[in-house]
Structure 1
Amino acid sequence: MNVPKCSVEENRELNDILQDVSLPSKTHATQPVYYGGPLRNIPYITTYPGTITLTMICTEESRVRNRFYDWLETVVSGTNGLVNYASEYLGDQMEITVVNNPKKIPTGPSNEAIKYTLFDVFPDSINEVTLSQNSQNDYLRLSVAMMYRKWIKGELPDQPLDTNDLTFPGGPLRLA
């Protein structure tokens, strides 16, 4: 996974601590139309729910966690409550790559990798982290909800697949 507003080192750390990511979705808005007979729903626009969630393991000295808190602060200032201009907080694009075999680095279009590219992304919220006496032998997990304007599946024209992207196995994710 490559996240805008993060350095190369922070993206590497994110790929190490990332536990779950929800893939983007889209739907078609429809309008019922009568053509003689039963009504038919005809699509007229693609809509994007616009939210994915990243869940990562919290480490004591996580640069990524701090980067997300700093990035969230650029959307609406916590000190004065002012909303910044979109150019101040929007990341151009965020890439998620899903690979069937996590031990194999994607080598090109013949590999069974799926790439999602999200546009105009920014963190919408950082969810609460629950501290519990019952979970003293468990990891702390941080969930970040990311907003996006739209997404595409597949390669961007003339853009090679980046081997630093997140690689999830094709099957169910193994939780720590």
Structure 2
Amino acid sequence: MSEQMAGVRVRDLVRDVVAACAPEEVVIVEGLLRQSDAEVLARLRRRRGERDPLGFGLAEIVPLVAPLLWLTLERARERIAQNLVDGASRGSSTLWRWMRRRPPVPEVIPPLTRDQQRLVHTMVLDGAAEAGLSPDLAQRLADRVVAGLVLADPDEPQGRPRGEVEEGGAEEPRELR
């Protein structure tokens, strides 16, 4: 496995926050973790836009934390990355095109500045409010996400957690704690 940039993998952060704040959804996250990040995002984005034949779906009855977190963290990662790209030289477009052709790797949120941490915190709060989660749960989610980002060890390479396999492959079922 090639060395990844320091930071927190979105999938790991989602798993940790869901386990702490919405343990009833751990089984959903475990199912999502069997797919690559690109596949998970495609599924979650597709579900948000599709119309249920009955006019409502499970998300309207019970807002789910796992999809909310995964999509919000991906939007935050993209926004931060776009700010870095915008600040970079315009001559780097060739390098950018070359990087986009590389095989998919897990999405990583790099170490963030305090302002970027506040941005992520606000994005999680806003997404939770939009999804209809209670203010208490929204605050716990946002705090846990930022704590996970802040407490990540930048010197520790991002390895695969026990039972997880390379991108796109299936993994053996793990016992839930």
- Pick the TM interval, shorter chain: under 0.3
Q: TM-score, normalised by structure 2?
A: 0.27
Larger proportion of strand? 1
Larger proportion of helix? 2
Q: TM-score, normalised by structure 1?
A: 0.27
Higher relative contact order (CA 8 A, sep 6+): 2
